[in-house]
């Protein structure tokens, strides 16, 4: 293994080949989108030429041809809508260069996100970055590669990967890692959840991805499960009738409350969003040992989560295009159960599902939702899933996400669990704190994007009437 430490590393820059041609396209796309944004793409509107040609500054012999119709259809935020790189032959072709960013001791490699790029027919893994020497060596061996860096910025600059895995479970550096990828010409990013600890960071990530035409996919594995796809098909077919409400609970272990909401609740909130659409409002109550939380109950969360509070959270969400509502709850009971999952209630029946790649799911064709009659709960299966066997291995789900990310880059579409989807889950998390602080419903999206809602909790007593034991001094 070759350990490369920062800019002082010796060795030559890898052959750029298709990457140099790709940079021509990216620079051309940026030039064209900027011209459109400023209203100066004359060729698209003057009719003087049926074709605009933009040349790369670095490779003048490589050109990107854009018809006037393509220019008019170009969206400066989302790129060339519905267009693929196939319209420019030999510019962007597999195998694509892939790299991994890990952080041993501070989130490691998430839930084995690094393994998702192995044995991908369209990817060639070229390097890994990890500030910890032993973790870096283990990761290089696991990935079967020679090049390993202690600085991910140096890796991005030298190796010029087109796809990068931002693997650490700790989220406090996700923003910096993603922005560095966008600045170094990366096309697709696979990121561990949650996206970031606050809305300002999420907004910066989304803006950077839009500005640089980068696709980002979040590690929400359940969204890619064939079993979940079957559940969505059953709902669309009317198996449970009209969807009336969703109910999800966190894992409710020692993290029950604020930590559970952020670390595992985002999985549930992501399915709320996928099933019911854009959230419109949130109403929530947060307590600690039975008392409404105030400034004194705020604590710094583990794993770079940022501020959090509460050992119990009860939240309800409404949505823009449906009257159905969604409830999320997490607590810290003395006897934790195995309730981490989602209930989908309809006018004709209900569905119970858990989380993961092939986690068990059941269907009850009973409008009372009680299974007290002759109709039992029936397992939900799909072709090739091996019945209810699923296990805890998330690698198949991670691989499916990477495959979707590659396709999104190739076709200039968005991956299923894109950057905006990741931001929405964080917005829903923070809306719980905002609603609790105001003592009322809060509309979404949140208007306050810079300050964390917990910094704005009212400085009032959190004691129940007659209890002076916790009055501020």
Give the pLDDT score at 4: 53
Domain containing residue 274: CATH number = 3.30.360.10
- Of the residues 218, 238, 257, which one is the last residue of a structural domain? 218
Give the pLDDT score at 29: 41
Give the pLDDT score at 65: 30
Domain containing residue 135: CATH number = 3.40.50.720
Has residue 456 got a pLDDT over 50? yes
Give the pLDDT score at 248: 98
- In this structure, the answer to whether residues 23 and 132 fall within a common structural domain is no
DSSP string, 142-161: HHT-SEEES-HHHHHHHH--
In a domain, 4, yes or no: no
In a domain, 399, yes or no: no
In a domain, 257, yes or no: yes
- Of the residues 218, 247, 272, which one is the last residue of a structural domain? 218
Number of Cβ within 10 Å of residue 188's Cβ equals 26
Cβ-Cβ contacts under 8 Å for 281 (sequence gap 6 or more) = 317, 318, 441, 442, 443, 444
Choose between 391 and 124: higher pLDDT: 124
Average pLDDT over residues 442-456: 95
pLDDT band at 338 (very low <50, low <70, confident <90, very high): confident
pLDDT band at 226 (very low <50, low <70, confident <90, very high): very high
In a domain, 101, yes or no: yes
DSSP H or E run through 189: strand 188-191
- In this structure, the answer to whether residues 53 and 109 fall within a common structural domain is no
- In this structure, the answer to whether residues 285 and 171 fall within a common structural domain is no
Per residue in 49-92, pLDDT tens? 332 332 232 333 332 233 233 333 333 333 333 444 444 344 56
Cβ-Cβ contacts under 8 Å for 368 (sequence gap 6 or more) = none
Beta bridge partners of 54: 64
Whole-structure pTM value: 0.80
Average pLDDT over residues 420-424: 98
- In this structure, the answer to whether residues 426 and 289 fall within a common structural domain is yes
Has residue 468 got a pLDDT over 80? no
- In this structure, the answer to whether residues 436 and 373 fall within a common structural domain is yes
Give the pLDDT score at 25: 39
pLDDT band at 374 (very low <50, low <70, confident <90, very high): confident
- Domain of residue 104, residue span: 94-218
CA separation (Å) from 376 to 42, 354, 363?
Answer: 66, 18, 9
- In this structure, the answer to whether residues 35 and 172 fall within a common structural domain is no
Give the pLDDT score at 465: 41
- Of the residues 218, 245, 263, which one is the last residue of a structural domain? 218
- In this structure, the answer to whether residues 252 and 135 fall within a common structural domain is no
Instruction: Report the number of distinct structural domains present in the chain.
Output: 3
Percent of the residues in the chain that have a pLDDT greater than 90, as a whole number: 70
Per residue in 227-280, pLDDT tens? 999 999 999 999 999 999 999 999 999 999 999 999 999 999 999 999 999 999
């Amino acid at each position: 293994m070759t350990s490369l430490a920062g800019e002082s590393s010796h060795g030559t820059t890898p052959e750029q080949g298709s990457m140099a041609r790709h940079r021509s396209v990216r620079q051309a796309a940026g030039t064209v989108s900027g011209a459109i944004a400023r209203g100066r793409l004359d060729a698209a509107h003057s009719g003087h030429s049926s074709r605009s040609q933009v040349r790369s500054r670095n490779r003048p012999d490589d050109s990107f041809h854009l018809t006037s119709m393509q220019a008019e259809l170009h969206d400066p935020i989302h790129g060339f809508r519905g267009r693929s790189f196939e319209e420019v032959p030999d510019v962007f072709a597999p195998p694509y260069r892939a790299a991994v960013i890990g952080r041993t001791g501070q989130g490691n490699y998430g839930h084995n996100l690094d393994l998702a790029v192995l044995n991908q027919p369209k990817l060639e893994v070229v390097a890994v970055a990890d500030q910890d020497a032993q973790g870096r060596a283990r990761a290089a061996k696991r990935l079967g590669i020679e090049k390993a860096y202690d600085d991910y910025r140096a890796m991005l600059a030298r190796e010029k990967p087109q796809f990068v895995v931002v693997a650490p479970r700790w989220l406090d550096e996700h923003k910096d890692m993603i922005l560095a990828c966008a600045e170094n010409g990366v096309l697709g990013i696979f990121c561990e959840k949650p996206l970031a600890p606050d809305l300002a960071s999420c907004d910066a990530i989304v803006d950077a991805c839009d500005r640089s035409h980068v696709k980002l996919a979040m590690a929400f594995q359940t969204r890619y499960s064939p079993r979940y796809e079957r559940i969505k098909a059953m709902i669309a077919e009317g198996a449970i009738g009209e969807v009336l409400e969703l109910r999800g609970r966190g894992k409710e272990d020692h993290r029950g409350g604020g930590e559970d909401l952020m670390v595992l609740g985002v999985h549930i909130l992501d399915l709320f969003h996928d099933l019911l659409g854009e959230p419109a409002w949130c109403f929530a109550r947060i307590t600690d040992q039975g008392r409404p939380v105030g400034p004194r109950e705020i604590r710094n969360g583990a794993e770079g989560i940022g501020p959090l509070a509460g050992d119990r959270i009860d939240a309800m969400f409404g949505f823009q295009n449906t009257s159905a509502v969604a409830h999320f709850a997490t607590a810290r009971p003395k006897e934790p159960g195995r309730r981490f999952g989602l209930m989908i209630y309809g006018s004709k029946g209900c569905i119970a599902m858990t989380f993961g790649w092939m986690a068990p799911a059941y269907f009850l064709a009973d409008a009372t939702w009680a299974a007290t009659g002759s109709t039992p709960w029936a397992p939900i299966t799909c072709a090739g899933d091996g019945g209810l066997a699923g296990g805890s291995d998330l690698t198949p789900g991670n691989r499916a996400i990477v495959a979707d990310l590659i396709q999104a880059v190739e076709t200039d579409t968005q991956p299923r669990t894109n950057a905006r989807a990741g931001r929405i889950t964080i917005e829903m998390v923070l809306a719980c704190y905002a609603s609790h602080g105001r003592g009322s419903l809060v509309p979404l999206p949140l208007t306050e994007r810079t300050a964390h809602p917990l910094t704005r909790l009212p400085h009032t007593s959190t004691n129940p009437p007659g209890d002076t034991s916790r009055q501020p001094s």
